[in-house]
């Protein structure tokens, strides 16, 4: 049965944040809110967590994951940024974008696109997500909480608790969060390519 953590949206309780992070460090899988709907998240090295995300969402081995980072400075450890891409990404974060970029050696091969060696990264603008990332001290390996056969991601903590009670270890609720998934921009090629139009304005990349 999943634990249910109710966090204040503007001033999340440090004690509860520590409990959630302790669970993550014990190879736990959580459902947590972002500025662009809910996501499933675990630590980068949590192989079982990755398998559980794939099972919940019915994803194949080719589906890319996203590294949710606390700040721009953290990205350079996990993705390669040319000068032009550096400027584009920095101007758009924090925000509701996921960027596909060439992965560095810090990203396990099993989490990269097997053909192109890329990975998704994002920096959300969400108080609770940022507080979790600060307490954890590293990115969360994540995937949008979009269940098989459904067109819209899940956005209500209580509903997630009901439906995924035996599939995740915790549900983090901080009230309303975004209703749309991120806009996904592939910046691994010579020109930006919009792979998904979502909550972030894609105009700056067109």
Q: pLDDT at position 113, please?
A: 86
Q: Three-state SS for 185? A: strand
Q: pLDDT at position 151, please?
A: 85
Q: pLDDT at position 60, please?
A: 87
Residue 84: phi, psi to the nearest 5? -70, -40
Residue 31 · residue 173 · CB < 8 Å: no
Q: Give dist(CA 69, CA 67) in Å, integer.
A: 6
Q: What is the DSSP letter of 202?
A: G
Q: Six-digit token pair at 193?
A: 């390519």
Q: Give dist(CA 171, CA 161) in Å, integer.
A: 6
The tens-digit pLDDT sequence of the chain (206 residues) is 999 999 999 999 999 999 999 999 999 999 999 998 999 999 999 999 999 999 999 998 878 899 999 999 999 999 999 999 999 999 999 999 999 999 999 998 888 888 889 999 999 999 999 999 999 999 999 999 999 999 888 888 999 999 999 999 999 999 888 788 899 999 999 999 999 999 999 998 98
Strand order in the sheet with 66-68: 3-6, 170-173, 30-34, 37-42, 140-144, 66-68, 118-122, 97-102, 183-186, 193-196
pLDDT in tens, 64-92: 899 999 999 999 999 999 999 999 999 99
CATH superfamily, domain 3-205, is DHBP synthase (3.90.870.10)
End-to-end CA distance of the chain: 45
Q: Is 55 exposed, middle or buried (CB count within 10 Å of its CB: 0-12, 13-18, 19+)?
A: exposed
Question: Could you tell me how many residues make up the chain?
Answer: 206
Q: pLDDT at position 21, please?
A: 98
Q: Give dist(CA 23, CA 158) in Å, integer.
A: 19
Q: pLDDT at position 175, please?
A: 87
Helices first, then strands: H and E counts in the chain: 6, 10
Query: Mean pLDDT of all residues in the chain?
Result: 94
Q: Where are the domains of the chain?
A: 3-205
Per DSSP, helices labelled H in 29-116 are 47-57, 72-75, 83-92
Q: Six-digit token pair at 153?
A: 């991601």
Residue 111 · residue 61 · CB < 8 Å: no
Q: pLDDT at position 30, please?
A: 98
């Amino acid at each position: 049965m999943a634990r249910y953590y109710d966090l204040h949206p503007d001033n999340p309780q440090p004690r509860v944040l520590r409990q959630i992070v302790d669970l993550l460090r014990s190879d736990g899988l959580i459902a947590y809110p972002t500025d662009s709907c809910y996501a499933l998240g675990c630590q980068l090295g949590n192989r079982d967590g990755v398998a559980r995300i794939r099972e919940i969402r019915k994803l194949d081995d080719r589906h890319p994951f996203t590294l949710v980072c606390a700040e721009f400075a953290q990205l350079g450890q996990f993705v390669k940024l040319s000068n032009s891409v550096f400027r584009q990404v920095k101007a758009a974060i924090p925000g509701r974008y996921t960027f596909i970029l060439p992965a560095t050696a810090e990203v396990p091969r099993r989490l990269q696109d097997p053909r192109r060696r890329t990975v998704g990264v994002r920096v959300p603008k969400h108080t609770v997500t940022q507080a979790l990332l600060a307490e954890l001290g590293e990115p969360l390996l994540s995937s949008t909480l979009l269940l098989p056969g459904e067109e819209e991601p899940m956005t209500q903590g209580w509903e997630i608790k009901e439906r995924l009670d035996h599939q995740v270890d915790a549900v983090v609720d901080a009230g309303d969060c975004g209703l749309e998934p991120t806009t996904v921009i592939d910046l691994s090629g010579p020109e930006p390519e919009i792979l998904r139009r979502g909550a972030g304005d894609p105009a700056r990349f067109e």
